[in-house]
Structures are given as structure tokens and as C-alpha cells.
């Protein structure tokens, strides 16, 4: 059987497959990049060739430019590159997100990118795959992170909106344009006839819908809208808008941040907002452990997040795990991307 250290190598540009001559979510420009999902820390500019899922393709084109060279395949479809069998499996993180599976001479490596094991109402649910080497993220790799069920979150968000309405307040939800915004839309369906979204979300949704993906209907929240129109309404916007003039112009807004970090009181209180909901697109503690265990991998690499803590714990429960330093999980990068969206919108 093929040895793991020959199938993938950890280089300064990213995770490399020498046999296949391609990189997985590289952070430096390379010839051939296989992309797990469309977030800016995983899908970066400057690759000569991109490969991603069919659902990710419009997102990559929207964010990186229509002129990028990108090939796409369906979840579960196989593509052989220089003898390496490449396929994508749902990661449950954002629309189009995938775990990347590589197989060569019977040896299997799975790179999760970012993932969430709990099903939601919009992304294709996470699928567990058996492999020899499993490369997992660890954004929420501490036992204090355990998410509520989707139905419970839905109930909380709906009653928050209703309560705001009683108090004559508009409800503003802050979450990343890609992933959190669509997830929130699915969670908030039925709460109001119209849901308004910021332009960065509106444009991205257009791009996603154009490729045939069904998204809930939204209205564009633009600066020239009459104040009265937005009275008591529901608005979804990227986090970078916190403190912006556009947000302040809303009639009596109540603002909620939606992020896994909101699990901790200190984080909720750090931001001056009216509510914090622990809605995360990443696996929680039990999700991470389940994913690692069901991969049955003989070697586990732990990337971005609590990699030191999580890999130490895995070793204690008898799993061969190592820390792997990558350049994923850079929130400033994801934020700066939204900043550009904001600049173009205001």
C-alpha cells in the first residue's frame, strides 16, 4: 500500500500531493489547487487552475473573478489526476463545501476543510468517510462548545424577532456573507414576508441561484430604502457592518451576532450588541470527535483552531494525532473580504 508521507506533503505553500501534482486549499499561488469551499482562507487568489464542487463553482467565480480557470465535479464523482483518484464529499459547512478525498494505490487521505456534522436546513449534510489519514479542522475543539439542535435555534431566533417586533424594533442578524447568511435565511424562513439582506449577501445569493441552487427569496437592503419600509423588519448583514452608518440609520435596530464564539458570555458581552446566538457552521466538540472516530484513520492531523488541545486529547484516547500548522482560520482575512463588500456597497 502507498505510504501516507508519499501521498501528501506539508509545504510552505500548503498541503501538497506530489504524485498528483496538486495542492489542497493552498495559501500561496500554485499551478493546480483543489478547493474545499469558498471562504477566503481556503479559496485564495492566484491559482492557475481550480477544482471544486459544482455548487462551489459559482461562488469561486463570484469572489475570485469570472476569468479564473475552474473545473468542477459533483459530490461523489471521481476524477483521476496523474493517477490519484480525487473526489468530494459533503462537509456540511457552507453551500458547496466538501471534504477532499484522495486515493492512490489503496491509500486514502481525507482533508476536511471546514465542516459541521450536525445537519441544518440548507447545506448537503456531512458524510463520514473511512480513510488512512484524516486531516481535520479544530475551530471549536474544546468541550465547552456544544451546539443546540437546528429546531431549537430556529425557535430562539423566531422568538427574538417576535419580541423585537413587539418592542417596535427591527431585527438585524450579523453573519458572514457566505455560509452564515444562507443558513440564517433558512432558519428564519416564515418569520416575515420579506427578509432584507445586505448587498454583499444579495449579490452572492444571485450568483448561487443562477447556477440552479434554490435559496429563500430576499430583498435588497440598500441605503436609499425608505426608513418606514424597514420598520420592524428582519435584516441580515455581514459582521463588518457592526457600528456602520448604514446600520445606525435603521429604525430602532436590535442587533444579534450569530457565531459559535457566542457560546461564551465574555464573547457576547465583548461586542456591544443586543444578543448573541451560538449559530456555528463548524463542528462542535462531539462533532469533531465523532468525525475523527468514524474515519477510523490510523493517522490524524489537526489543523486550525484548538489544534494543540484537540490533538493532545485525541492522543490520550488512543488516537494517533499530530498538530499541523496551516494558514487557515484567519478571521481577519474573512473579515477583510467582507470589508471590501461593504466598501462597494456604501
Binding residues for other proteins, rule: CB under 8 A, are 142-146, 261, 263-270, 272-276, 308-309, 312-313, 316, 331-332
Residues in contact with 294: Cβ distance below 8 Å, sequence separation at least 6, in sequence order: 128, 130
Q: How far is the CB of 165 from other proteins (least distance, A)?
A: 18
Which residue lies nearer to other proteins by CB, 208 or 256? 256
Nearest to 37 by CA among 136, 114, 137: 114
Q: How far is the CB of 36 from other proteins (least distance, A)?
A: 21
Which residue lies nearer to other proteins by CB, 259 or 295? 259
- Name the DSSP class of 121: S
Sheet arrangement for strand 49-53? 9-10, 15-17, 22-24, 32-34, 49-53, 70-73
Which residue lies nearer to other proteins by CB, 202 or 313? 313
Residues in contact with 187: Cβ distance below 8 Å, sequence separation at least 6, in sequence order: 120, 121, 150, 153, 154, 157, 279
Q: How far is the CB of 266 from other proteins (least distance, A)?
A: 3
Q: How far is the CB of 337 from other proteins (least distance, A)?
A: 15
- Name the DSSP class of 124: P
Q: How far is the CB of 103 from other proteins (least distance, A)?
A: 33
Which three three-digit cell numbers place residue 75?
Answer: 459530490
Distances from the Cα of 251 to the Cα of 46, 65, 100, 168, 169, angstroms: 42, 36, 45, 9, 7
Q: How far is the CB of 19 from other proteins (least distance, A)?
A: 32
Rounded to whole angstroms, the Cα distance separating 297 from 285 reads 18
Which residue lies nearer to other proteins by CB, 214 or 272? 272
Q: How far is the CB of 268 from other proteins (least distance, A)?
A: 6
Which residue lies nearer to other proteins by CB, 156 or 206? 156
Which residue lies nearer to other proteins by CB, 50 or 306? 306
Which residue lies nearer to other proteins by CB, 249 or 315? 315
3-state secondary structure of 73: strand
Q: End-to-end CA distance of the chain, in Å?
A: 56
Angle between helices 180-188 and 199-210 (to 10 degrees): 90
Amino acid at each position: 500500500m502507498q505510504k501516507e508521507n508519499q501521498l501528501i506533503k506539508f509545504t510552505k505553500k500548503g498541503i501538497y500531493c506530489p504524485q498528483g501534482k496538486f495542492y489542497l486549499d493552498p495559501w500561496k499561488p500554485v499551478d493546480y489547487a483543489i478547493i474545499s469551499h469558498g471562504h477566503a482562507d481556503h479559496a485564495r487568489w492566484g491559482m492557475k487552475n481550480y477544482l471544486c464542487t459544482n455548487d462551489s463553482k459559482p461562488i469561486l467565480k463570484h469572489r475570485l473573478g469570472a476569468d479564473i480557470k475552474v473545473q468542477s465535479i459533483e459530490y461523489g464523482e471521481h476524477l483521476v489526476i496523474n493517477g490519484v483518484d480525487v473526489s468530494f464529499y459533503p462537509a456540511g459547512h457552507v453551500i458547496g463545501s466538501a471534504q477532499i478525498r484522495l486515493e492512490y494505490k489503496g491509500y486514502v487521505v481525507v482533508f476536511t476543510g471546514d465542516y459541521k456534522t450536525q445537519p441544518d436546513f440548507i447545506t448537503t449534510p456531512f458524510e463520514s468517510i473511512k480513510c488512512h489519514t484524516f486531516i481535520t479542522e479544530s475551530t471549536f475543539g474544546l468541550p465547552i462548545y456544544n451546539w443546540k439542535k437546528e429546531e431549537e435555534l430556529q425557535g430562539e431566533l423566531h422568538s427574538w424577532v417576535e419580541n423585537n417586533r413587539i418592542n417596535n424594533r427591527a431585527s438585524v442578524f450579523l453573519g458572514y456573507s457566505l455560509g452564515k447568511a444562507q443558513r440564517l435565511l433558512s432558519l428564519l424562513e416564515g418569520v416575515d414576508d420579506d427578509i432584507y439582506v445586505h448587498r454583499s449577501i444579495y449579490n452572492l445569493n444571485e450568483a448561487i441561484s443562477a447556477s440552479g441552487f434554490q435559496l429563500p427569496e430576499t430583498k435588497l437592503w440598500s441605503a436609499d430604502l425608505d426608513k418606514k419600509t424597514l420598520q420592524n423588519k428582519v435584516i441580515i448583514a455581514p459582521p463588518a457592518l457592526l457600528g456602520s452608518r448604514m446600520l445606525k440609520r435603521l429604525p430602532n435596530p436590535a442587533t444579534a451576532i450569530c457565531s459559535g464564539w457566542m457560546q461564551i458570555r465574555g464573547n457576547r458581552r465583548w461586542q456591544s450588541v443586543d444578543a448573541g446566538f451560538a449559530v456555528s457552521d463548524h463542528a462542535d466538540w462531539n462533532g469533531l470527535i465523532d468525525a475523527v472516530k468514524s474515519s477510523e484513520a490510523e493517522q490524524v492531523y489537526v489543523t486550525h483552531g484548538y489544534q494543540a488541545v484537540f490533538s493532545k486529547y485525541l492522543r490520550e484516547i488512543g488516537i494517533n494525532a499530530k498538530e499541523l500548522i496551516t494558514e487557515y482560520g484567519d478571521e481577519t482575512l474573512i473579515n477583510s473580504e467582507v470589508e471590501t463588500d461593504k466598501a462597494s456597497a456604501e
